[in-house]
Structure 1
Amino acid sequence: MTGDRSKNKLPRRRVLAVGFAGHQGKEYLPIVRESADIVGGVDPAPAASSLADEWGFPHYDVLGEALRKVDFDAAVVTVPHSEHFPVCTELLAHGSHVIKEKPFAVTEQEARQLVHLAQRADRSVLTLLQRNFDPVFQFAQENLARIGEPYWFSYDYHFNLAHPTTGWRASREQAMGGVLLDMGYHLIDVLSGLFPEPAPEPPRVHSAFVHHCQEMRDRRLEDLVSLMFSYPSTGLAGSLRVSRHNYEKTEHLCVLGTEGALNVVPEAAVLHSVGGLPLERRTGKGPRTDAVRSMIAHHLGHLDDRCYRQAHLQRQLAVVRTIDGIYRDRLRERNELADRCA
């Protein structure tokens, strides 16, 4: 019996790490190695070569060279937002699966093109969003129906950074957006999972962009965003706030329904009755890396699952469409104001 299981066991995937010398890339290296063999790394950073030597895989400055020299099954991509689309299109043209940091894409047009390229190549493009593998958010998804018809949600997610944003996230050319595209992507993905809208009708969103630092205002990179959502087909409404410079780091999702409520924080999710009585509770056991480990292993194990791939692509397309729509509305408002003032 043991011999049969060994015979049927899938071989370990071979992974190319693209952007591995950055903060997120270095965080993923030990977790990826638990489930796959890292057979090469691409990063032009000065420290990348020594880091690759430390981990024992060949290093390449440019992706094209790695594609010519390395045999791999999937690429794990952790690069600045501006590089996501060109890197992913090059990998898909090579016939490679892609597992990538968020965002799936920056604009709806890019997202639709990635979906087309992935389907044409019969390859997956899977986005790393750990809340989908976190027990407290899984509890919320599984128990949403128990609160009846949801009619209101509030979702807050804040950092408490004491200093202005630094690195590529402080560059308009590389970040392509502020906290909405960066931190907010996770939250809008959670909302898209809880409250999927019938295509092609996305939620209606009113936004307020705020700047903690003058330099971020000058670069049009919002430090705080406040959103009001309404879902035409269901009557659901809600608010979302994201910022980098709050007085404390916090995350809190609350959903009110006709028969109860759900409260979710990183440590626990609680199902409440209409009167507020706690009915059931799920705690977040273990460190955050447990969800990341589960996420990466799951994606690596489902690269060839077309049903999983298609559902993931459609959900990410909805997330990008919502965020891109918010940014386009803000740009239109800014242009109209400039025309009035001219």
Structure 2
Amino acid sequence: MPGDRLKDLRPRPRVLMIGFAGHQGKEYLPIMRESADIVGGVDSAPPALPLAGEWGFPYYENLDDALKSVDFDAAVVTVPHGEHFPVCASLLAHGRHVIKEKPFAVTEPEARHLIRLAQQADRSVFTLLQRNFDPVFRFARENLARIGEPYWFSYDYHFNLARPTTGWRASWEQARGGVLLDMGYHLVDVLSGMFPEAPRVHSAFVHQYRETRDRGLEDLVGLMCSYPSRGLEGSLLISRHSLAKAEHLCVLGSEGALNVAPGAATLHAVGGAQLERCAPEGSRTDITRSMIAHYLERLEDRDYRRDHLLRQLATVRTIDGIYRDRSGGSSELAHRCA
């Protein structure tokens, strides 16, 4: 096909990996190399230097040195939440595209500032959210209309860690939140794609361990969401220390239901009869590969960029509103455009 031949003739993007020695960064290294040329890595952690040598790219202890020394088109940012904004702001000031781990930002003002910087630089800031590229969640989005008017959803997501949170997630300054910002960002983003109206939210924050309570980092959060104009209600329950690792989304509608879990999604008629099932054979790595290739191909796509930024602003606004109003118990998160 002519389009495929043109794509093959394009130069491969040159990518700088920031935070590449962490768990997430190391996962992206082999996948990124399939679609781009890794021209350098930035990470101050002790394992970073030998890892860069193993992968054969230049190592820089800080971003300023990398910006002075290497030319690149985009940076992949996988650093603690509290470091996201200054890193992204510096990259945009130097005219580089950004592909970053979630969250897009930790507060709504920060998200709006980041969007302004991206617009001024005419550069993309894409957020790495695998569920948006997972066939089972795509099946759910594409078949949502078949269940009629949704009136209820429940979305549960749990880890089964046996001990208190450790590493940078145990520091408020670095994590900037507990399970809601870390794990819950994925769930709120999924719901933003299915039900774009901003919800009213009642929240309950729970601390299993004294350490996380003292640092203001919730171990469990329960949310009750209301979408008044839709007649839709729903719940989210997110925790790090449950009995088993699990994820499950169920949406009930006037004409049926959708069930989504890792690896399979099903469409049901009223009464429970299964109408259709999606159970793709691909792996989590295949989903990540598709996501990264998708973003790299759209770095210069201004329309795609705009839609992505608005979606992320809605997700950040919802989470920031819940944190700000948690002591009051209820919040109405008004929808505003950037």
TM value normalised by structure 2: 0.95
Q: Which amino acid aligns with 2:73?
A: D
**Partner Cα distance (1:22, 1:252) in 2:** 28
Partner of 2:210: 214
Of 225, 228, 249, which aligns to 1:229?
A: 225
Q: Which amino acid aligns with 1:233?
A: S
**Partner Cα distance (1:167, 1:284) in 2:** 34
Aligned-pair CA distance for 1:191: 0.2
**Partner Cα distance (1:299, 1:6) in 2:** 17
Q: Deviations over 1:253-277 (max 9, x none)?
A: 0001111100000021000001111
Aligned-pair CA distance for 1:211: 1.0
Q: Which amino acid aligns with 2:95?
A: G
Q: Which runs of 4+ in 1 moved over 6 A?
A: none
**Partner Cα distance (1:317, 1:24) in 2:** 23
Partner of 1:319: 315
Aligned-pair CA distance for 1:7: 8.3
**Partner Cα distance (1:91, 1:7) in 2:** 26
> Are 1:101 and 1:128, in contact at CA under 8 Å, matched by a contact in 2?
yes
Q: Secondary structure at the match of 1:104?
A: coil
**Partner Cα distance (1:260, 1:229) in 2:** 21
Listed as ranges, the matches of 1:10-21 within 5 Å are 10-21=10-21
Q: Secondary structure at the match of 2:260?
A: strand
Partner of 1:340: none
Structure 1 unmatched ranges of 5 or more: 334-342
Of 201, 204, 211, which aligns to 1:205?
A: 201
**Partner Cα distance (1:68, 1:290) in 2:** 34
**Partner Cα distance (1:30, 1:5) in 2:** 24
Partner of 2:161: 161
The answer to whether 1:176 aligns with 2:176 is: yes
Partner of 2:143: 143
- The share of aligned pairs that are identical, in percent, is 76
Partner of 1:46: 46
Q: Which amino acid aligns with 1:78?
A: T
**Partner Cα distance (1:319, 1:263) in 2:** 22
> Are 1:155 and 1:241, in contact at CA under 8 Å, matched by a contact in 2?
yes
Q: Deviations over 1:304-335 (max 9, x none)?
A: 111110110000000000000000002567xx
Aligned-pair CA distance for 1:163: 1.3
Partner of 2:292: 296
Partner of 1:276: 272
Q: Which amino acid aligns with 2:189?
A: D
Aligned-pair CA distance for 1:235: 1.5
Q: 1:6 to 1:313 in 2, by over 3 A?
A: closer
Q: Which amino acid aligns with 1:235?
A: G
Listed as ranges, the matches of 1:1-342 within 5 Å are 5=5, 9-197=9-197, 202-331=198-327
Aligned-pair CA distance for 1:168: 0.1
Q: Which amino acid aligns with 1:190?
A: V
Partner of 2:336: none
Q: Deviations over 1:49-93 (max 9, x none)?
A: 111011000011110110111110100000000000000000000
Partner of 2:332: none
Aligned-pair CA distance for 1:286: 2.2
Partner of 1:337: none
**Partner Cα distance (2:286, 2:7) in 1:** 28
Q: Which amino acid aligns with 2:271?
A: G
> Are 1:17 and 1:41, in contact at CA under 8 Å, matched by a contact in 2?
yes
Q: Deviations over 1:218-253 (max 9, x none)?
A: 111000000000012212110000000000110000
**Partner Cα distance (1:98, 1:183) in 2:** 21
**Partner Cα distance (2:217, 2:8) in 1:** 50
**Partner Cα distance (2:307, 2:6) in 1:** 31
**Partner Cα distance (2:328, 2:110) in 1:** 20
Q: Secondary structure at the match of 1:180?
A: helix
**Partner Cα distance (2:268, 2:238) in 1:** 25
Q: Secondary structure at the match of 1:248?
A: strand
Q: 1:135 to 1:7 in 2, by over 3 A?
A: closer
> Are 1:134 and 1:284, in contact at CA under 8 Å, matched by a contact in 2?
no
Q: Which amino acid aligns with 1:107?
A: T
Give the aligned length. Answer: 329
**Partner Cα distance (1:206, 1:297) in 2:** 38
> Are 1:266 and 1:284, in contact at CA under 8 Å, matched by a contact in 2?
no
Structure 2 unmatched ranges of 5 or more: 330-338
Q: Secondary structure at the match of 2:229?
A: coil
Q: Secondary structure at the match of 1:11?
A: coil
What is the RMSD of the two structures over their aligned residues, measured on CA atoms?
A: 1.5
**Partner Cα distance (1:284, 1:8) in 2:** 27
**Partner Cα distance (1:310, 1:233) in 2:** 26
Q: Secondary structure at the match of 2:179?
A: coil
**Partner Cα distance (2:164, 2:87) in 1:** 28
Aligned-pair CA distance for 1:296: 0.5
